[in-house]
Structure formats: structure tokens, C-alpha cells
Amino acid sequence: MRRILSVLLLAMLFTGCYNSGEPREKVLKIYNWADYIGDSVLEDFQAYYKQQTGEDIRIVYQTFDINEIMLTKIEKGHEDFDVVCPSEYIIERMLKKNLLLPIDTVFPHSPDYMNDVSPFIREQIAKLSQPGRPANDYAVCYMWGTAGILYNKAFVPDSVVESWKCLWDKKYAGKILMKDSYRDAYGTAIIYAHAKELKEGKITVEELMNDYSPAAMELAEKYLKAMKPNIAGWEADFGKEMMTKNKAWLNMTWSGDAVWAIEEANAVGVDLDYMVPLEGSNIWYDGWVIPKYAGNPKAASYFINFMCRPDIALRNMDASGYVSAVASPEILEEKIDTTLGYYSDLSYFFGPGADSIQIDKIQYPDRMVVERCAMIRDFGDKTKDVLEIWSRIKGDNLGVGITILIFVVVAAMSGWAIYKRVQRYKHRKMQRRRSRRHRK
């Protein structure tokens, strides 16, 4: 009940529209993914901002479900969001299109908490840089994770999920779910298609996932078509529930969703686990940016800094199941779990001294896992071609022109869309977090 009331309060306080008669510097407009922030964090930021600046701030908080919808609102609609949370490829695209403002890192009365972002994460974000626009000046990573396989240990041996081959195994036909993500599907198919070459060290995961040549796209489509008869559904969010109820046995998914599903499954006696196949996979990054048309970049910078504060980062991690980019000693201390029967090398993330620690291997992958993974970059002008492949695979019978039109129409329906997103947000909170147990 406390969580339900919290969501209702959040909806009432922060989803209102901006009043044009109100001074813009008194309002902070945030655009974020649903279920991606801790309880009362927004209220606590208001108190923090008042303490730091002596000024009151009202928050307008909206959520989105698709990166491209968010981008369309900013690029085409010139909406004045102050801070948004796109994925890495959209950050790269926004930098290419000069749609971002630099983030201020000087705060007269507060430390720069952004300095606690892991150097490993900074190195990855730096790959998104454009001429004259270093990515780390324009984006601060919020959460990150891997793509892998969530599986039911009662029906699927551990050895089977060591390879993406299991998704093509007819033995599991009708028991496999795939994320409804054209980027992850493309990456998975092209990796599995070159499993032999990867094992022999003739090519890298990064090279494969960012190869959009006609030959590569043809091969990816061939493998996805071969896999399709095994797929029980292309899921955006229902996969976790189907896995916890034994309705599916394999789910190509993201690490944060896997953490949530494993916790829920344990509560009802279902034994799930998660693995990144040995061929390699995608590591993704979501980050805070300040769009070009922001009306209050000052408050946006303060907000991004606040979200990197260790105690706030921990609260956001507990709420979402995903992993903060912040690598402070406080987070490491909080996340060590001496009840675990294994040790991981996290020196790449937390630094020297973290090369053998007991920590959740799903949230914090071992160095060996990270070294066989890579980031999928922006498809650029090949996005249209990959979307057309995805449309054919799923049998949507929609050309990419129709798909893009849908994005634009949905983006234009801002008032109704906001209302519906709030309703879905409340429903998900009530249905899926009723018995959530936070990991320490």
C-alpha cells in the first residue's frame, strides 16, 4: 500500500504540464523511462536544490517507452525538456545532430558526484564522441547492464545457455521469448552466425555487432528467420512474468529484468538463472543528457549531479534492479554479499582491490564476461534497413515508413500519451512489485 500511495503521489505532483505563466527557471522538466527512479528521489532533489541554491523548484516528470519517441519530441518538436535519459546509441545520434548542451560540473556548495562514475564507463561513453563534442562533457551514464539469457534451471541445463545456439534449438520451440528489440536481435543473430570465427579469434563482437554491410544484414535476417519458429513471443515487458510462472523456459533479456524475475521466481519456488553466452553479447548504457532546447540547464546539471550521489544511486538501483554507473566505495561496500559462494573480478569497474569480491554476478558481470561483450553503436543511415528486416521477421507487414509515422503520431499525442503512461506506470507498480525483495 505504501508503494501504491507513493506512485499516486508521484503522478499527482510531477506529471502536470508546464504553466506558461510560471518562470521557466522555477521548473525542471524531466523525461525518463518508466520504473527507473527510486521512491521519493524527486522530492529529495527539491530539498537538495533549495539547500544548494536557495531556490524552489517544481518538477514536471514524464516517462517514455521508446527512445525514438523521445528523440522525435526533441528533434522535431523542439520540446524544452531539461534532462532526459536516452540509451547510448541515441546519445551518439543526438551528439551528431548537435542536440545536446554541455553539463555543468561546478557547484559552489556541493561536491561533483559525477566524478564517481566508473572510469570504465567513462571510457565506453567516450566512444560516442563527435568532432568538437567529447561525449563525457554532454552525457553522464545512469544505468548499465548486459543482454543475455534468463533460463529455467528445471528444464534447461546450465551448459545449454553457454551458447546462443539454444535459441535456435527446436527442442525448446514454443518456450523461448525474445526481447522486442531490433538492435539486440540483430546483435544476437550476427554473433551466433560467426560463433566459430569468434572462438578462433578471427573477429570481435564489437566488429560484428556494428557491421551493417548488405552481406551482414542479409546474414542476420537469415538467422533470425530460422529462429522465428521457436519463438513464443516478442516481449517488451511480459517476459519476466511468463518466466516466473514456468510458461517460458528461455528469455533473451536484459540483466536488470533478469534480477527482477529471479527474485520474484524464488518467492514462488521457481529456480531461474541468467547467463551471458560465451560467444559474447551487448553491453548497453543509459545516460542523462541536457537537450538543446532545455529551458533550465542549471537545474538539470544539479539534478544529474544529485543522481550520482552514492545514497541516491543505491536507492535508484534498488527500485529498478539495474546497476548504477557510480563506482564509489560506499556502493561497493553496500553491494558486497558474503553469503555468495563465488568471487568476481570487478577491478575494471571499482578499481584495484576489487579483483576478487563476492558480489552479484548478474548485476556486476565479471571481467571475463565484460571482455567478451561490446556496445552496439548507432546504426546511422542504416537504421531504416535494419527496421525493415525486423518488420519482416516479426511479420508486422509494416514498412519502415509506416513505423516512423507511428512514432511521429504517438509523439504528437502528448497529452493522452502521458495520461496512459501514468496509468501503466501505476498498474506495473501494483502488479509487479507487490512482493519485491531488495538485494543488499
Averages of pLDDT over runs of 10 residues in the chain (440 residues) are: 39 51 93 94 98 97 94 96 98 98 96 97 98 98 98 98 98 96 95 97 96 96 97 88 93 93 94 98 98 98 98 95 96 97 98 96 97 96 94 68 43 42 43 33
Measured in Å, how far apart are the chain's first and last C-alpha atoms? 23
Say what the pLDDT of residue 18 is.
54
pTM of the model: 0.86
Nearest to 283 by CA among 150, 212, 180, 376: 376
pLDDT digits (tens, 9 = 90+) for 340-379: 999 999 999 999 999 999 999 999 999 999 999 999 999 9
pLDDT digits (tens, 9 = 90+) for 96-114: 999 999 999 999 999 999 9
What's the CA gap between 240 and 259, in Å, rounded? Answer: 10
Task: Report residue 387 as a C-alpha cell.
Answer: 527496421
Say what the pLDDT of residue 391 is.
93
Say what the pLDDT of residue 347 is.
98
Strands (E), 238-363: 250-254, 272-275, 281-291, 323-324
Say what the pLDDT of residue 216 is.
97
